[in-house]
Amino acid sequence: MYPIAPPLLGWFYANRRSLPFRDDPTPYHIWVSEIMLQQTRMTAVLPYYERFMKTLPDIPSLAACPMETLHKLWEGLGYYSRVHNLQKAAQAVCENYGGELPGDYNTLLTLPGIGPYTAGAIASISFGLPYPAVDGNVLRVFSRLYCDDGDINDPAVKKRCTGRVMEHQPPDSPGDFNQALMEFGALVCTPRSPDCPRCPLREMCEAYSAGCAEELPKKAPKKERKVQKVTVALVRSPMGVLLEKRPEKGLLAGLWQPYTVEKECTKEEMLALLAGLGLHSRCIAPLSPAKHLFTHIEWQLSGWIFETKDTPPLPENLLWLNGENRDAYALPSAFSAYRSLILQ
Ligand code: SF4
Q: Which atom of ligand 1 is nearest to the CA of 188?
A: 8
How would you class 295 by CB atoms within 10 Å of its CB: exposed for 0-12, middle for 13-18, buried for 19 or more? Answer: exposed
SS3 call for 260:
strand
| Distance from residue 214's CA to the centre of ligand 1 (Å) | 9
What is the share, in percent, of the chain residues with pLDDT greater than 70? Answer: 100
Nearest CA-CA partner of 184 in 113, 245, 135? 135
Indicate if the pLDDT at residue 40 is higher than 90: no
Q: pLDDT per residue over 182-218, tens digit each?
A: 999 999 999 999 999 999 999 999 999 999 999 999 9
| Distance from residue 190's CA to the centre of ligand 1 (Å) | 9
Choosing from 144, 183, 190 the residue with most ligand 1 atoms within 8 A of its CB, the one to mutate for a pocket test is 144
Question: What residues are in contact with ligand 1 under a 6 Å CB criterion?
Answer: 141, 144-145, 188-189, 194-196, 199, 201-202, 205, 207-208, 213
Q: Which atom of ligand 1 is nearest to the CA of 205?
A: 4
- HSE toward the beta carbon, residue 59, CA cutoff 13 A: 23
Q: pLDDT per residue over 102-122, tens digit each?
A: 999 999 999 999 999 999 999
| Distance from residue 147's CA to the centre of ligand 1 (Å) | 10
| Distance from residue 145's CA to the centre of ligand 1 (Å) | 7
Q: At what angle do helices 174-187 and 155-168 cross, to 10 degrees?
A: 120
Specify the pLDDT at position 222: 85
Instruction: Look up 307 and say whether it is catalytic.
Output: no
Indicate if the pLDDT at residue 1 is higher than 80: no
Q: Which atom of ligand 1 is nearest to the CA of 194?
A: 8
Burial track 258-293 (b if 16+ CB lie within 10 A, e otherwise): bbbeeeebeeeebbebbeebebebeeeeebeebebe
Indicate if the pLDDT at residue 152 is higher than 80: yes
Amino acid letter, residue 184: F
Mean pLDDT calculated for residue range 48-58: 98
